[in-house]
Every structure is written in structure tokens, then in C-alpha cells.
Amino acid sequence: GLCAGLLGIDDRELLAKLLSDTLGKKNPAMLDINLKILEKGVDLGQQAAGKE
């Protein structure tokens, strides 16, 4: 998420789908937590890049 935010990738729906398709299959119980971490990472990346 942090890297995506720094790179200006803000398509959160796409990022969530990618996360679900990869990590969600391995550990579905952790998917919700991982999605929250992804969201926070994107926010922090955007702030660091000066986009927010």
C-alpha cells in the first residue's frame, strides 16, 4: 500500500482485488485486516508523496 501511494496508484478497488486474489486465497481469515493495512499504506504513501 505504501509503495502504491508513493507511486500515485489510487485505484483502491483494483488494489483490494489484487490482495484478495493473492493473499486472500492463502489466508482468508486475515483478508479484512490486510485490506485495512493496504488502505492505511496507500494513505501514508500519498501523504509522503505530498498528494494529500
Q: Helices 12-26 and 31-48, interaxial angle, to 10°?
A: 140
Asked if pLDDT for residue 52 goes beyond 70, the answer is: no
Angle at 23 between CA 46 and CA 40, to 5 degrees: 25
- Tell me the pTM: 0.76
For range 12-37, the mean pLDDT: 88
Query: How much is the pLDDT for 24?
Result: 78
Query: How much is the pLDDT for 8?
Result: 86
Listed residue (32, 13, 33, 1) closest to 46, CA to CA: 1
pLDDT tens track for 30-49: 889 989 999 999 999 999 98
User: What is the band of 2 on the pLDDT scale with cuts at 50, 70, 90?
Assistant: confident
